[in-house]
Amino acid sequence: MKWINLGTLVLIVSAASLAQGQGAAHSIPVSVNCSAGESLNWTLSNLDSKKPYTVSVNGTCTEFVHVVGFQNLTLKALPGAKLVQPALNPGDLFNAVLLIESSQSVTVQGFYIQADTTTVAAVGIGNGSSDIRLRNLTVTGGTSGIVVFENSQVSIAYVTAQDSGYASLGIYDSSDVHVEHCLFQDTTGALWHVGIALGAAHVTMYATTISKMQDGIVAASGSIVDVLYSNTYYPPIGPANVTIVNSAGTNYNGVSLDDNSQLNVGTAKLVIDQPGQSWGGTTGGILLSNGSNLDASSGNLVITGSYGNGIIALNNSHAIVGASTVTGSGHGGLVAANLSTIDVTASTALSTVGGNGVDLFCDSRSVITGRANIAGVPTAQCANLLATETVPLP
């Protein structure tokens, strides 16, 4: 029989477990000084992508930075640190000033990131990357400011993205993004700019402002937009409103949904101020087309002062609103056409639909229901206008 000293064995096992725990918990510090001619991209290429690192960056890094296959990486800007597009040809494949691919648990914080508007994105995140966290960034330019693609998952907080070639934030290919405490804006006055563009993707957002865009949010190919308060990353701080503002008068639609896309206005308020164009058409606060849907039954929807319409449902699209406000539109308030429906549902308070060119409009093949749930006496051009939410049922 072989005797084993149990005390020694326990000590060895405990020491091994402690070492493993420390290895998982502690990040290895690395410094890069681009002002002294060092390269952030070269430094990353020489790290073990499976180990946890915190890379502190000083100065202006004029290079394409590629983060590929990393796990548990933090890129931390020291005061004034920048990532800037170099003059080099970006190549034939997709590129970005900061490109993150096939990576997990990566945090990028504190940088100013700049790109031109015609050749590359400022920030690109793709190839199944997950738990990517963008924090306290200022992103200027880029064909898109931030683009998320190929089934990637990203959290964006306290980020300003402005003056991109097209969208401040693009989300595609079954990707999922959480947005809070952000500002997406255009300061150039030129056409055509979008705050958030989605294609077959999902975004959850609150406490964010989209300013002076031709389209605040554009969603297509079955995309889902949730306006919803969440404390997943931060505790409650300030108002939770998502606000789309059009002080420049260049907006066409606050939100535009196409191809079976969905907008859910939940526990955060969606405020759309002065959308649309004076000539009307399909411009306005929210445009639903081709089987798209709006659920604002929470009552947290406010559309004010539209130069065009308030809510427009076209081509077999549908909206439900509860205790919402649609006022001051130059054309229609609630507009349903071509086999579409809008239901003003009963709630703890009445909806306010008034002061529009025509408050309620529907064509002969569309229906607006719940007239009794609207305060006041709205004007109507709608033969299929029901006082209740349904026809009499047996």
Question: DSSP string covering 177-232, please?
Answer: EEEEEEEEE--S--S--EEEEEES-EEEEEEEEEES-SEEEEEESS-EEEE----S
Q: Which helix (H) or strand (E) holds 17?
A: helix 6-25
Hey, which residues does 114 pair with through a beta bridge?
Answer: 84, 140
Residue 243 structure tokens: 């606000």
Q: Which is nearest to 124 in space by CA: 158, 149, 156?
A: 149
The per-residue pLDDT for 377 is: 96
CA 354 – CA 379 distance, rounded (Å):
8
Contacts of 81 (CB under 8 A, 6+ apart): 34, 57, 58, 59, 60, 61, 110, 111, 112
Q: Are 307 and 328 in contact (CB under 8 A)?
A: no
DSSP code, position 34 = G
The per-residue pLDDT for 25 is: 54
Q: Are 287 and 318 in contact (CB under 8 A)?
A: no
The per-residue pLDDT for 393 is: 86
The per-residue pLDDT for 248 is: 80
CA 259 – CA 224 distance, rounded (Å):
11
Residue 240 structure tokens: 């939770």
Q: Are 233 and 257 in contact (CB under 8 A)?
A: no
pLDDT 10s digit of each residue in the chain, 394 long? 333 333 333 333 333 333 333 334 589 999 999 999 999 999 999 999 999 999 999 999 999 999 999 999 999 999 999 999 999 999 989 999 999 999 999 999 999 999 999 999 999 999 999 999 999 999 999 999 999 999 999 999 999 999 999 999 999 999 999 999 999 999 999 999 999 999 999 999 999 999 999 999 999 999 999 999 999 999 988 899 999 999 888 999 999 999 999 999 999 999 999 999 999 999 999 999 999 999 999 999 999 999 999 999 999 999 999 999 999 999 999 999 999 999 999 988 999 999 999 999 999 999 999 999 999 999 999 999 999 998 888 9
What are the structural domains, with CATH classification, of the chain? 27-147+158-165 (2.160.20.10)
CA 259 – CA 253 distance, rounded (Å):
16
Phi-psi label, residue 174: left if phi above 0, alpha if psi -120 to 50, beta otherwise: left
Q: Are 284 and 326 in contact (CB under 8 A)?
A: no
Hey, which residues does 272 pair with through a beta bridge?
Answer: 244, 303
The per-residue pLDDT for 4 is: 34
Residue 299 structure tokens: 């009552």
Question: 29: burial class by Cβ within 10 Å (0-12, 13-18, 19+)?
Answer: exposed
